Amino acid sequence: MRKSSSDRDNRIIFVLSVIGVLIAIYVLQSFLRQTSIVCINTGCEVVRKSPSSYIFGIPVPTFGLVGYSIIALLAFLRTMSSNKKLLLGILAVSTFGILFVSWFTLTEIFIIGAICTWCAVSALNMMVIFSFTLKSYINTIGKLL
């Protein structure tokens, strides 16, 4: 029973991280090609053109792309191995992920003064991934104790 619940959580984490990768690719290509982002509000363009959307010259979506890719890869590897370090790796990356998206959301609100819809969707996505990872981790610890 616990095994199937863990499998289900890993599937959700994998699906959400692949969606995160695709969102990050879409937004990143707009940053690199300097083309407008299709968005339900005008915030995406304000955020894209802001210097605050670059960290040491690296566009913010790059971090999303790397983070989501690592999570997707680790979730995939979990289908082939029961090594607990894989789950711990996802937990570490998603913890960094929610800290990162929280920082960037605050930057959008207080420094840039606009909200990018794709960033908000990505932030929510990362929070859901973190929640499922934490749940899986707690279940795993419980099983070990």
Partner 1 sequence: MKITAETKLFIGIFISILAIFGVAFFLSSLPEPTVSKDELIPKATLSATGSATATTYLVEFSDFQCPACRAFSPIVDRIVKTNQDKIYFVYRHFPLLQHPFGKKAAQAAIAASKQGKFWEMHDFLFDNQDGLSDDLLNDAIQILGLGKEQFTKDFESNETQELISQDMLDGGRFGVNATPTFFLNGKKLNLAGPEELKSLVENEITK
Residue numbers at the binding site for partner 1 (CB under 8 A): 7, 11, 14-15, 18-19, 22, 36-39, 42, 44-46, 75-77, 79-81
Query: CB-wise, 30 or 94, nearer to partner 1?
Result: 30
Question: Residue 18 Cβ, how far from partner 1 at the closest point, in Å?
Answer: 5
Question: Residue 42 Cβ, how far from partner 1 at the closest point, in Å?
Answer: 5
Question: Residue 72 Cβ, how far from partner 1 at the closest point, in Å?
Answer: 8
Given a contact cutoff of 8 angstroms between Cβ atoms, the answer to whether 100 and 67 are in contact is yes
- The number of C-alpha atoms within 13 Å of 46 and in the hemisphere containing its C-beta is 14
Query: CB-wise, 19 or 28, nearer to partner 1?
Result: 19
Alpha-carbon gap, residue 64 to 27, rounded angstroms: 10
User: Greatest CA separation found in the chain?
Assistant: 53
Alpha-carbon gap, residue 46 to 53, rounded angstroms: 10
Question: Residue 99 Cβ, how far from partner 1 at the closest point, in Å?
Answer: 26
Query: CB-wise, 76 or 100, nearer to partner 1?
Result: 76
Query: CB-wise, 22 or 106, nearer to partner 1?
Result: 22
**Alpha helices, DSSP H, located in 1-145:** 2-33, 43-49, 60-77, 84-107, 117-144
